[in-house]
Chain A
Amino acid sequence: MEKWPNNKAWFLVLPAFIIVAFSGIIPLMTVVNYSIQDIFGPGEAVFVGTEWFKEMLGNHRLHDALWRQFMFSGLVLLIEIPLGILIALAMPKRGWGVSASLVILALPLVIPWNVIGTIWIIFTRPDIGLFGVGINSLDLLEVPFDHTAKPIYAWITLLAMEVWHWTPLVALLAYAGLRAIPEAYFQAAKIDGASAWATFLYIQLPKMRGVLTIAVLLRWMDSFLIYAEPFALTGGGPGNTTTFLSIYLVKLATMQFDLGPAAAFSLIYFLIVLLFSFAFYQALLNVGRGEKA
């Protein structure tokens, strides 16, 4: 659609700009301010330049947290995107099953994030949880299952929770993408003798590119920013094995009150998210385009 050139449109955007800027730019400026000063108390601050940045970039705990974060987000994408697509493919296309499936799928999405943590504590605890009691009664594990007992258990529990919580979003998006494909494409594929796999590869997957881009971006961002669920479930433990970036940041800022380093860390964190989101966006936009064009 051809758009009307009109700079007065700014007046329509202005209110939204102001309200987001109020919540976005002013605090960000404060963060920048913190990050270049050492603050001893109200009104007592010393300009320190890039010192906090240097300190944070060399900080081993940050490196560890960052590495953990990449592992976690990477695993999340690897599991949730294919699983979500599979669920969307299996969902009914008409009838009462559609509404029922959509409602069940959307349910985990409207549960407050810390309640998700609570649900999973209750579900996996070795004394009262269905999963905890169930797996221990099988007596397969050397160390009885308890999500706080071993790092691997904590990780599995967290990943299971994350996959449980967010795969439905991917599935909903993929389903919306699939439903938008006109029936004629499938009819043509049938007539051309395409196998189910070829139909998926050459029709369904390309047509889902838009919604999958949204899915990958949202899942990447949100899993990278994850806080409430691990906070409620493991509190970052055992040890620091599930201390992701957000959890480390909040610990640094509110428990140790190291404002300067925390601010510098915040900015680095923000930049990483931004950079990767942009990279994913560009990559997904161009994937399969331009070849032989």
Chain B
Amino acid sequence: MARIELNEIAHSYHPNPADESDYALKRIQYVWEDGGAYALLGPSGCGKTTLLNIISGLLIPTRGKVLYDGIDVTGLPPEKRNIAQVFQFPVLYDTMSVFNNLAFPLRNRGVESGEVDRRVREVADILDLTPYLNKRAEGLAADAKQKISLGRGLVRSDVAAILFDEPLTVIDPHLKWNLRRKLKDIHEQLKLTFIYVTHDQVEALTFADKVVVMYEGEIVQIGSPQDLFDNPEHTFVGYFIGSPGMNFLDCTLEGNVARCNGARIPLDDGVAAKGRNAQGKIELGIRPIHLQVSSVAVDGGVPANVKMVEDQGSYRLVNLTLDGKTLRARVPESEPIPEDQAWLVFPLEWTRLFADGRLIK
């Protein structure tokens, strides 16, 4: 068990990185608390796998330090770090039985055979693998294989953290839920630090207590699933979390009003004041669920046109145009939707301003 500290980590795959754009990871500073369930969320190529490999020791970062419980392990190889990793597709020793697969990491570390046997059976029991112990690993289904990969990490009594690199990619959709549930159970039972890399927000939000969102080599926000939804600190988080993502409008500020082309959207006084002082490109953001659609003119309402309605079952998605920009609003089943002309209300507490992508606070 361990607390993992990333100290000013940066990594480049170029041998001689010249400027910022050569870096796959740009200045990462974070502490993974012992026993936490973390998700590392981001699109392909954002650097999340690079970060994971730095934590596990498969990569040595160009700059910065990795500390386990305060001890510098930056230069240590993975086998000296007491971590385990589960990869995107099942990595097994094909010619061995399930038992030998699970026993392999212990035997490599010279654990005596009675202890090996005890640990393997214990872990097989947790993972429901007992019936397969004497079978060859090669012939099993993908989910059982992933469980074996995980098991190879769990058998080690000294293991500090288990890292998952999109482990459910090759699992059938109906088994994904089961396996995710299993992971959560194991986390609660064993209280190990889990770091789970994924590009799937549903996986991240259901699995983790804390989600770390990465974008273009940087951590843009860390928070609970609810936090990320309610208070996105970066336009990317707003866009990436939630389905559909946040609406964004380019705008300029005039007093307490945001002007987006012709439309005038009233803002909270404090937000507007900070916005006026901010530098860079200003964008206004609001989640579809917070955007209110009215069929009659209301105070502070902005006129817009309804283009399309998608029925999603329990709610409907309304696509509207506001001066040529498309916005989406999520409307409950029970509420009426105007035919053509509509008025949009931007509730002050849910309307955010971003400068160059970052939330203005």
Contact = CB atoms under 8 A, between A and B. Distances in A.
Are A and B in direct contact (Cβ within 8 Å)? yes
Interface of A: 182, 184-185, 187-188, 190-195, 198, 202-203, 206-207, 288, 291-293
Given A193-B79, A288-B95, A291-B136, A187 B87 contact: yes
Contact of B95 (A185, A191, A194, A202): A202
Nearest to B83: A191
A207 B92 CA distance: 11
Q: Which 10 pairs, one residue from A and one from B, show the smallest C-beta to C-beta distance? A: A193-B79, A193-B108, A192-B105, A184-B87, A188-B91, A202-B93, A191-B78, A206-B95, A190-B78, A288-B95
B311 to A, nearest CB: 38
Contact of B78 (A187, A203, A291): A187
Given A202-B93, A206-B95, A288-B95, A191 B85 contact: yes
Interface in B32-80: 53, 56, 58, 77-79
A194 B92 CA distance: 13
B143 to A, nearest CB: 17
A187 B97 CA distance: 20
A194 B108 contact: yes
B254 interface: no
Contacts of A194: 104, 108
B30 interface: no
Contact of A202 (B53, B78, B96, B153): B96
A190 B57 CA distance: 10
Contacts of A203: 93
A293 B97 CA distance: 9
A203 B95 CA distance: 9
Interface in B86-103: 87-89, 91, 93-97
A191 B96 contact: no
B108 A192 contact: yes
29 contacts: A182-B89, A184-B91, A187-B58, A187-B78, A187-B85, A187-B87, A188-B87, A190-B58, A190-B79, A191-B56, A191-B79, A191-B83, A191-B84, A192-B105, A192-B108, A193-B79, A193-B105, A193-B109, A194-B104, A194-B108, A195-B108, A202-B93, A202-B96, A206-B94, A207-B94, A288-B95, A292-B135, A293-B135, A293-B139
Task: Kindly name the residue among A193, A202, A288 whose own CB sees the greatest number of chain B CB atoms within 10 A.
Answer: A193
Interface of B: 53, 56, 58, 77-79, 83-85, 87-89, 91, 93-97, 104-105, 108-109, 134-136, 139, 149, 152-153
A182 B96 CA distance: 18
A207 to B, nearest CB: 8
Nearest to A206: B95
Contact of A198 (B78, B108, B134): B108
A249 to B, nearest CB: 41
B78 to A, nearest CB: 5
B361 to A, nearest CB: 40
A194 B108 CA distance: 6
Contacts of B109: 193
Given A187-B91, A192-B105, 16 more contacts: A187-B56, A187-B85, A188-B85, A188-B87, A190-B77, A192-B108, A193-B79, A193-B105, A194-B104, A202-B93, A202-B95, A202-B96, A202-B104, A206-B93, A288-B95, A292-B136
Nearest to A205: B95
Contacts of A288: 95
A276 B156 CA distance: 46
Contacts of B94: 206-207
Contacts of B78: 187, 190-191
Contacts of B53: 187
Nearest to B96: A202
Nearest to B79: A193
